[in-house]
Amino acid sequence: MSHRILLLGAPGAGKGTQSKKLAAEYGIEHVTTGDALRANKEMETEYGTPKSFMDAGELVPDPVVNEIVEAALADADGFVLDGYPRNIEQAEYLSEITDLDAVILLDVDEEVLVDRLTGRRVCDDCGANFHVDFQPPEEEGVCDECGGELVQREDDTEETARERLEVFYDNTEPVIDHFRDEGVLVEVDGEATPDAVFDRIGDVVEN
């Protein structure tokens, strides 16, 4: 049986990690907005190609994103959708084009999210990711992969993390309410270990 899963959650909630595990477990596609846009950047839509907006450094408009995501889902024999929908218009569109088997919200306290986001460290040379608490390098500040210097990206400062969360709450709370009103939203505690969270998600998907 192919599963059609939507995973919702704030930055730092673990959507990427859990989506990859779900894709591997059930043999389904991991569909993200960014990947779908990059894979279909030359696709002609009524509003132009995604590439025309990306090259200009502009946000790709909702109607274009919607068409790209629809094409990605149509090609997939089961999927876990991560990073879409980002607003109520996209949520309503998604409800029109597919029937979802599970809509799961990873529920994580804001202070935990900030700790997760600000603890990330990235190798300046090879790009490998670490975390000061959850995945520390063997030697502090040094990449296990290549010996390069680990740095905190601008995106991962506390100020930026809180700004990202504010944007998420403003844009995505209506999305959460939309699926809750449809009676399909299931909230999963996202503060446990990744394996424990995955087990809880699996229970939702299987049932």
Looking at 21, 116, 120, 121, which residue is catalytic? 120
121 is catalytic: no
84 has binding-site annotation: yes
Looking at 86, 162, 180, 200, which residue is catalytic? 86
4 is catalytic: no
Give the Cβ contact number of residue 147 at 10 Å.
11
12 has binding-site annotation: yes
For residues 207 and 189, what is the distance between their CA atoms, to the nearest angstrom?
A: 17
Looking at 21, 116, 121, 164, which residue is catalytic? 164
For residues 204 and 184, what is the distance between their CA atoms, to the nearest angstrom?
A: 11
Q: Which residue type sits at 67?
A: E
67 has binding-site annotation: no
8 has binding-site annotation: no
13 has binding-site annotation: yes
180 has binding-site annotation: no
58 has binding-site annotation: yes
33 has binding-site annotation: yes
153 has binding-site annotation: yes
Cis peptide before 63 (omega within 30 of 0): no
128 has binding-site annotation: no
CA angle at 156 for the pair 154 and 12, rounded to the nearest 5°: 150
CB 181 within 8 A of CB 170: no
Could you give phi then psi for residue 123, rounded to 5 degrees? -70, 130
200 is catalytic: no
164 has binding-site annotation: yes
180 is catalytic: no
For residues 200 and 157, what is the distance between their CA atoms, to the nearest angstrom?
A: 30
CB 78 within 8 A of CB 2: yes
Q: What is the DSSP letter of 151?
A: E
60 has binding-site annotation: yes
Looking at 15, 21, 116, 121, which residue is catalytic? 15
153 is catalytic: yes
Show the tokens assigned to 91: 């949520």
| Residue positions forming the annotated binding site for AMP | 33, 38, 58-60, 83-86, 90, 153, 164
Binding positions for ATP: 12-17, 120, 192
Residues at the annotated binding site? 12-17, 33, 38, 58-60, 83-86, 90, 120, 123, 126, 143, 146, 153, 164, 192
Positions marked catalytic:
15, 86, 120, 153, 164
Residue numbers belonging to the annotated binding site for Zn(2+): 123, 126, 143, 146
